[in-house]
Amino acid sequence: MAPHDLRRPFKRAAISDQQRRRELSLQRQAQHRRDAQHQARCLASFLNPHSDPEPEPEPETTSETEPEPSDSPKELDIRHASKLKGAEARKWFARQLMLPEWMIDVPDQLPKDWYVFARPAGKRCFVVSSNGTTVSRLRNGSMLHHFPSALPSGARTKDSSGSAQSYSILDCIFHESDQTYYVIDMVCWREYSLYDCTAEFRFFWLSSKLAETGACDPPSQYHRYRFSPVPVYNCDQAGLSAAYTGAVPYVKDGLLFYNKHAHYQTGNTPLALVWKDENCSQYVIDTDSKGQVPSQQQVVLELQDNGNLSTSDDPPVVFGCLDRAFIEQTESRSGNLLRFAIGDGGLNFVDGKLEKADLHYLGKPNRARAFADSYSKVMFQYMARHSPLRIDDLLASINSLSDQENKPSDVEMVG
Amino acid sequence: MAMEVTQVLLNAQAVDGTVRKQAEENLKQFQEQNLPSFLFSLAGELSNDDKPVESRKLAGLILKNALDAKEQHRKLELVQRWLSLDPSVKTQIKACLLKTLSSPALDARSTASQVVAKVAGIELPHKQWPELIGSLLSNIHQLPANTRQATLETLGYICEEVSPDAVEQDHVNKILTAVVQGMNSSESNNDVRLAATRALYNALGFAQANFSNDMERDYIMRVVCEATLSPELRIRQAAFECLVAISSTYYEKLAPYIHDIFNITAKAVKEDEEPVALQAIEFWSSICDEEIDILEEYGGDFTGDSDVPCFYFVKQALPVLVPMLLETLLKQDEDQDQDEGAWNIAMAGGTCLGLVARTVGDDVVPLVMPFIEENITKPDWRQREAATYAFGSILEGPSPDKLIPLVNIALNFMLTALMNDPNNHVKDTTAWTLGRMFEFLHGSALETPIITQANIQQIINVLLQSMKDVPNVAEKACGALYFLAQGYEDAGSSSSPLTPFFQEIVQALLTVTHREDAGESRLRTAAYETLNEVVRCSTDETASMVLQLIPVIMMELHQTLEAQKLSSDEREKQNELQGLLCGCLQVIIQKLGSSEQSRYVFMQYADQMMALFLRVFASRSATAHEEAMLAIGALAYATGADFVKYMPEFYRYLEMGLQNFEDYQVCAITVGVVGDICRALEDKILPYCDGIMTQLLKDLSSNQLHRSVKPPIFSCFGDIALAIGENFEKYLIYAMPMLQSAAELSAHISGADDDMLEYTNSLRNGILEAYSGIFQGFKGSSKTQLLMPFAPHVLQFLDSLYMEKDMDDAVSKTAIGVLGDLADTLGSNAGPLIQQSVSSKDFLSECLSSDDHLIRESAEWAKLAISRAISF
């Protein structure tokens, strides 16, 4: 039995660089495996939104168009989406935003079921942070910015907390003058999908998570734009007043109303509403491309196979019909968007339903337009020009409710 | 039936190659024709005192090699072969072996001892040869010292060979009694006493019960301590080896003896010859190891639990231990820094001082500083070097608060010494000490930086200058630069203080790699390693310079591949260099590939790089293969789906890597690269999956492949399934049964040690990652029902993992994720099954409230998926 070797490493690092390379590779692979898993999992929530309970029907919504939940992007998942380029990416992202209807009627139960907040003026966009970078896409799907941010996986930093490829999606408005993204909703956070969560939960999550990341910090090398939450109020008298008159660091563009129980639903929804007047928005009445308010209200409608002109709602609301000769003359095809002015004949209603519209063809809209106008938008604009819904109407609706609450409530029979 | 083998055995050792070859051929023939007779003939030869000692010795060696092999599967074959041999032949062979122990020829006895131990190693665990120990012990009291010496040696070898549970306690007691008696000073024969002392070293592992008995332990310790005072150097050395072994095996029993042991070791360090003094120092190093482990456990676990309490032996001995060690530092050898294999008392003492500093922290500093101050400016290089080494040694352990003021004073002095000291040895240690300063006291975690705008320029100038010094000094300078760069690793912003020097540093390192003498003192390796670290820690500012490095390194790699007609020595060096260059490219790929902007620019080199990597596979060097494979994995990740264009050519090397059982590291890395490629190619990997899956399944079934590769192979199943989705269908019938049986094996492991538990958890993690990938891969396809039959088993596996309570956090996270994946993919079909499982209730709620955010995240996911599955 020979004496045992007792030499110890002398003036040497404990592990070789090769071993280090090996370990770093293994870490990288494990990380990527986790990311792939996360993405596969997250895809679930994109694929199966139908498995959730239907959003609670809005009681007595007078909206003529009870839009069905719009089609969710079944065939495309986020993993593909993140690789899509150009037109395809635009097409996909264009369908992802939840689009509020315009408030043409005051919903019941404002104080109980709704939030209100002042909408920042600016470009509505989706902000996706993943894989070490952040991309914002406008409502029509086109890219606004491509930048590093402090959002999770929003920049290539050495910070290895959390997975590098995890992604988050925020619903934002980019406010030009202070170069800030105001976050109005949270759709996906660290690959945890919030599509199926109520607005109540989403706002809670948004307020608790966003600040943690440092995304609300002033811009720095790895964080080009500041993010900021917006103050959200319960839509009672005080809340509505605060949203309407309260000071905010951004220019207001109307008020947004979100139903607390509604899930994030892509496309138009009556469970989120936008309302404006001159006090809280510069753009109550649509302007034309030169920034002038045209003398006549303009609408963009989509041409259907049968020549009908319809809104972007689902199901569409028909505003009129074109004859074949006119279609051929303007070289229009089914699916094209066309711009019209509403003539002095205005809109005519019978029993609350649109009967006839006095449309005058103007031409084709700007190519950036992805959608026809929604029914509620046309209506809101129409009302704004004729008999607007005023803040007092909203406050009155709330007051009448609080009066009711003081009375013994009736038992609702369900049979 | 014995054959005449003497002449053949002698011929087999002939100087004449043809004679030797012939003899070896003959031996092989004998063995193949009649194994029992062959083995018996060898045993006969070994035991025959009339035969020449050379043939006896070789006979014993061949016999030994017929019983044992290094390679695990070969070893098993040999064991089976011996066990199935005719019992009467075995009895005869064993009789010959035992008889040889009494031979006057030392070599014959010694060889026989080893063979007896090998046979015992096979037979005792099978409850065979029960009379062995008894008959050996009866030898102990025989008169000839020869026999006693050989018998004790044999007992020692047996203890080394056999695990303690194969020997009954009664025999253990008798063996220990015989061994300790043999060590006793009353034994007059030194050979016997030495054999006994060495035997005790191996028998210590058997002595658990005896060390728990105060009287027996006292006796053993007394005899061991006495043996350290023997006039015979080899006995003293062996006795100290026993003390070293006792210090780690029976640390918690040492308190009553530690004072005496300190005196014994101090005397040995001061006065005894080097081999003994080295063991005496090693005793304290080993005590430090133990206490560092215990204290780490204290610190790591806030309950303060450790199986073994800390007795703070080092802290208590500190006032005498430190001066003793400092004195050794002055006993350097002239050229120890040029000699890779050197190990002397100064090196051992310095190493021990470093361990002491890690054990006691701040307390060591005031004891060492006076020595440093007194010696650091002395004209004798030994004093300057010893002082510098002492300083370098204590830089890990004490708090930054204590060290930083000292380092701030020392830094300038060291920089000057590195430039101006006339002695290479001093410069070597100085550069090393600077490296230690940067390693432990420089980085974003420290509040007060020792490197500032004011001195960084000077530091870098000195290090770059020093890289032109003799190889051993230049190597240490590279090492210091390595840690200097590492300290800026997480500077956070895109601006690194190294940026202004980046170009200059890279240039200097490349120059070092081209030095004629870069092969000495592993200088070239150190230069590339430092280059890698500088690249790893670089920022976007210097991305363009990193990019420029690619063609340079590629050209170097190209040149190594073009070199013709090399000697085997040159080829080995060439392969080593290829490994380093591939490693460097890997680091660059990973760096540039991680940022969108730089990725696009560097992808222009992808084709050329890939072509070079593929050529590296033509070499036979495992290290070069490994490095090329790692680099390709990084490239695949950076390239993404476009990597598919390399697949036709790369595939065969991939397959080759997966078949490389011998260099299991290559195999493991290749498995990882398969995962990279799956994620890069997604379903474009499909055409290659048959081949890959076949190979992976073969790997799993092989008992030759190192076990550590198996967990990653399971994970790789998951990668493949996730990439190819429902196309994984055709592999289910192979993969699922393998996963199931591995899951069953890994679910329950009672009484496993820490290593086994760690391995089992990595295996569980691999299995779960496979399930996760498979479920997610099939999601949304029309074939999810194919997975339904496996659901009960998967859920059962999760439940049993939960009940066992011995999984680590990584497994918890993966396991709860699998629950979600199963629910997500199988939906309402699996609802009732899921609701029956414990996992969906207790396990899930535990995970939901876990402290680990990754576990919570997975649990949230599982909760969501389950709520969907059961809400239908």
Helix (H, G, I), strand (E, B) or coil at B253: helix
Contacts of B675 in chain A (CB under 8 A): 29, 32-33
Q: What is the DSSP letter of B549?
A: H
State how far the Cα of B713 lies from the Cα of B653, in Å rounded to an integer.
Answer: 17
Closest CA in chain A for residue B636: A29
State how far the Cα of A131 lies from the Cα of A164, in Å rounded to an integer.
Answer: 6
Contacts of A52 in chain B (CB under 8 A): 868, 871
Residue B258 or residue A49, greater confidence: B258
Interface contact flag, A3 B237, Cβ < 8 Å = yes
Interface contact flag, B494 A22, Cβ < 8 Å = no
Is the pLDDT assigned to residue B247 strictly greater than 60? yes
User: Which of B595, B672, B860 is facing A156, going by the closest CB pair?
Assistant: B595
pLDDT tens digits, one per residue of B701-726: 888 888 889 999 999 999 999 999 99
* Half-sphere exposure (Cβ direction) of B678: Cα atoms closer than 13 Å: 28
Quote the pLDDT of residue A408.
Answer: 47
Mean pLDDT, residues A181-202 taken together: 84
- Which amino acid is located at B357 in the chain? A
Quote the pLDDT of residue A369.
Answer: 76
Residue A46 confidence class, pLDDT cut points 50, 70, 90? very low
User: Which of A21, A52, A157 is facing B587, going by the closest CB pair?
Assistant: A21
Mean pLDDT, residues A101-123 taken together: 89
- Closest to B106 in 3D by CA, of B12, B11, B191: B191
Contacts of A33 in chain B (CB under 8 A): 675, 679, 715, 718-719, 769
Quote the pLDDT of residue A45.
Answer: 40
Size of interface A-B (CB pairs under 8 A): 140
| Beta pairing class for A308-310 and A298-303 | antiparallel
Report yes or no: B599 and B637 within 8 Å, Cβ to Cβ. Answer: no
Cα-based angle B233, B234, B237 (whole degrees, multiple of 5): 85
Report yes or no: B218 and B225 within 8 Å, Cβ to Cβ. Answer: no
Contacts of A1 in chain B (CB under 8 A): 153, 156-157, 160, 198-199, 201-202
Is the pLDDT assigned to residue A131 strictly greater than 80? no
- % of chain B residues with pLDDT over 70: 98
Task: Provide the chain A residues 188-207 that lie in CB contact (below 8 A) with chain B.
Answer: 190, 192-193, 196
CB atoms within 10 A of CB A61: 15
Residue A160 confidence class, pLDDT cut points 50, 70, 90? very low
Closest CA in chain A for residue B821: A41
User: Which of A22, A33, A220 is facing B769, going by the closest CB pair?
Assistant: A33
Closest CA in chain A for residue B434: A11
In the sheet that A252-259 helps form, which strands lie side by side, from edge to edge?
A98-102, A267-275, A252-259, A114-120, A233-234
Report yes or no: A230 and A117 within 8 Å, Cβ to Cβ. Answer: yes
Residue B723 to chain A, least CA–CA distance (Å): 9
Q: What is the mean pLDDT of chain B?
A: 91
Interface contact flag, A10 B347, Cβ < 8 Å = yes
Helix (H, G, I), strand (E, B) or coil at A184: strand
Q: With an 8 Å Cβ cutoff, is A6 touching chain B? A: yes
ipTM of the complex: 0.74
Task: Provide the chain A residues 26-45 that lie in CB contact (below 8 A) with chain B.
Answer: 26, 28-29, 32-33, 36-37, 40-41, 43-45
Helix (H, G, I), strand (E, B) or coil at A180: strand
State how far the Cα of B623 lies from the Cα of B614, in Å rounded to an integer.
Answer: 14
pLDDT tens digits, one per residue of A199-236: 888 888 888 788 878 888 888 888 889 999 999 999 99
Residue B769 to chain A, least CA–CA distance (Å): 9
pLDDT tens digits, one per residue of B14-58: 888 899 999 999 999 998 999 999 999 999 999 999 999 999 999
Report yes or no: B575 and B529 within 8 Å, Cβ to Cβ. Answer: no
Give A181's strand partners.
A174, A227
- Pull the structure tokens for residue A56: 């609670």
Interface contact flag, A192 B156, Cβ < 8 Å = no
Across B109-123, B592-606, B756-770, B790-804, least confident range = B592-606
Q: Is the dihedral of CA A305, A306, A310, A314 positive or negative?
A: negative
Residue A48 confidence class, pLDDT cut points 50, 70, 90? very low
| Burial (0-12, 13-18, 19+ Cβ within 10 Å), B520 | middle
Task: Provide the chain A residues 40-79 that lie in CB contact (below 8 A) with chain B.
Answer: 40-41, 43-45, 47-48, 51-53
CA–CA distances in Å: residue B623 to residues A9, B28, B532, B663, B664: 21, 34, 17, 9, 11
- % of chain A residues with pLDDT over 90: 14
CB atoms within 10 A of CB B42: 30
The crossing angle, in degrees rounded to 10, of helices B106-123 and B72-83 is: 90
Quote the pLDDT of residue A97.
Answer: 82
Q: Which ranges of B682-790 does DSSP label H, i.e. alpha helix?
A: 686-701, 710-724, 732-747, 754-778
Q: Is the dihedral of CA B709, B710, B713, B718 positive or negative?
A: negative
Output the furthest CA–CA distance in chain B (Å, rounded).
90
In the sheet that A298-303 helps form, which strands lie side by side, from edge to edge?
A318-321, A308-310, A298-303, A337-350, A353-363
State how far the Cα of B241 lies from the Cα of B198, in Å rounded to an integer.
Answer: 8
Mean pLDDT, residues B620-633 taken together: 92
Interface contact flag, A132 B493, Cβ < 8 Å = no
Q: With an 8 Å Cβ cutoff, is A245 touching chain B? A: no
Residue A156 to chain B, least CA–CA distance (Å): 6
pLDDT tens digits, one per residue of A267-325: 778 888 999 998 888 878 887 777 788 888 889 999 888 888 998 887 788 888 888 88
User: Which of A21, A47, A133 is facing B586, going by the closest CB pair?
Assistant: A21
Residue A219 to chain B, least CA–CA distance (Å): 12
| Beta pairing class for A180-189 and A267-275 | unpaired
| Residue of B630, B768, B818, B825 to mutate when probing chain A, most A C-beta within 10 A | B630
Contacts of A157 in chain B (CB under 8 A): 492
Q: With an 8 Å Cβ cutoff, is A87 touching chain B? A: no
Closest CA in chain A for residue B476: A11
Quote the pLDDT of residue B478.
Answer: 96
- Pull the structure tokens for residue B118: 């090998």
Quote the pLDDT of residue B150.
Answer: 94
* Half-sphere exposure (Cβ direction) of B143: Cα atoms closer than 13 Å: 0
Q: With an 8 Å Cβ cutoff, is A390 touching chain B? A: no
Phi, psi of B367 (to 5 degrees): -80, -25
Interface contact flag, B776 A221, Cβ < 8 Å = no
Helix (H, G, I), strand (E, B) or coil at B863: helix
Is the pLDDT assigned to residue B340 strictly greater than 60? yes
Give A143's strand partners.
A137
Q: How many residues would you count in chain B? A: 872
Interface contact flag, A37 B722, Cβ < 8 Å = yes
Mean pLDDT, residues B536-553 taken together: 92
Interface contact flag, A36 B532, Cβ < 8 Å = no
Quote the pLDDT of residue B663.
Answer: 86
pLDDT tens digits, one per residue of B384-403: 999 999 999 999 999 999 99
Helix (H, G, I), strand (E, B) or coil at A129: strand
Contacts of A7 in chain B (CB under 8 A): 343
Phi, psi of A339 (to 5 degrees): -105, 135
State how far the Cα of B581 lies from the Cα of B638, in Å rounded to an integer.
Answer: 19
Quote the pLDDT of residue A414.
Answer: 47
- Closest to B207 in 3D by CA, of B257, B246, B251, B181: B246
State how far the Cα of B797 lies from the Cα of B801, in Å rounded to an integer.
Answer: 6
Is the pLDDT assigned to residue A261 strictly greater than 90? no
Best mean pLDDT range from B64-68, B560-564, B864-868: B64-68
Is the pLDDT assigned to residue B298 strictly greater than 80? no
Interface contact flag, A132 B676, Cβ < 8 Å = no
Residue A411 confidence class, pLDDT cut points 50, 70, 90? very low
State how far the Cα of B530 lies from the Cα of B480, in Å rounded to an integer.
Answer: 9
User: Which of A3, A17, A52 is facing B529, going by the closest CB pair?
Assistant: A17
Closest CA in chain B for residue A31: B676
State how far the Cα of A257 lies from the Cα of A240, in Å rounded to an integer.
Answer: 10
Residue A21 to chain B, least CA–CA distance (Å): 8
Name residues whose C-beta falls within 8 Å of residue B627's C-beta, 6 or more positions apart in sequence.
Answer: A18, A21, B578, B579, B580, B582, B583, B586, B616
Interface contact flag, A40 B779, Cβ < 8 Å = yes
User: Which of A28, A44, A157 is facing B590, going by the closest CB pair?
Assistant: A28
Best mean pLDDT range from A73-87, A334-348, B496-510: B496-510
Tell me the Cα Rg of chain A. 26
| Beta pairing class for A353-363 and A308-310 | unpaired
The helix (run of H) or strand (run of E) holding residue A173 is strand A167-175
Quote the pLDDT of residue A162.
Answer: 46
State how far the Cα of A322 lies from the Cα of B736, in Å rounded to an integer.
Answer: 62
Q: With an 8 Å Cβ cutoff, is A15 touching chain B? A: no
Quote the pLDDT of residue B241.
Answer: 96
pLDDT tens digits, one per residue of B485-505: 999 987 655 688 999 999 999
Quote the pLDDT of residue B548.
Answer: 93
Across A343-352, B174-183, B394-403, least confident range = A343-352
Residue B317 confidence class, pLDDT cut points 50, 70, 90? very high
Is the pLDDT assigned to residue A377 strictly greater than 70? yes
Contacts of A45 in chain B (CB under 8 A): 864
State how far the Cα of B242 lies from the Cα of B224, in Å rounded to an integer.
Answer: 7
**Full-model pTM:** 0.69
Interface contact flag, B278 A26, Cβ < 8 Å = no
User: Which of A25, A41, A222 is facing B672, going by the closest CB pair?
Assistant: A25
Mean pLDDT, residues B770-787 taken together: 90
How far separated are the first and last CA of chain B, in Å rounded? Answer: 81
Interface contact flag, A18 B627, Cβ < 8 Å = yes
- Closest to B840 in 3D by CA, of B807, B867, B813, B814: B867
Is the pLDDT assigned to residue B138 strictly greater than 50? yes
User: Which of B278, B432, B675 is facing A29, going by the closest CB pair?
Assistant: B675
Is the pLDDT assigned to residue A65 strictly greater than 50? no
Closest CA in chain B for residue A26: B672
Alpha carbon A357 to its chain centroid, in Å, reads: 30
Quote the pLDDT of residue A15.
Answer: 62
Which residue shows structure tokens 């050898």? B333
Is the pLDDT assigned to residue A66 strictly greater than 70? no
Quote the pLDDT of residue A294.
Answer: 86
Residue B565 confidence class, pLDDT cut points 50, 70, 90? confident
Interface contact flag, A1 B198, Cβ < 8 Å = yes
The crossing angle, in degrees rounded to 10, of helices B754-778 and A17-47 is: 40
Task: Provide the chain A residues 122-161 that lie in CB contact (below 8 A) with chain B.
Answer: 132-133, 156-159
Quote the pLDDT of residue A406.
Answer: 54
Q: What is the mean pLDDT of chain A?
A: 77
Contacts of A220 in chain B (CB under 8 A): 493
Interface contact flag, A44 B495, Cβ < 8 Å = no
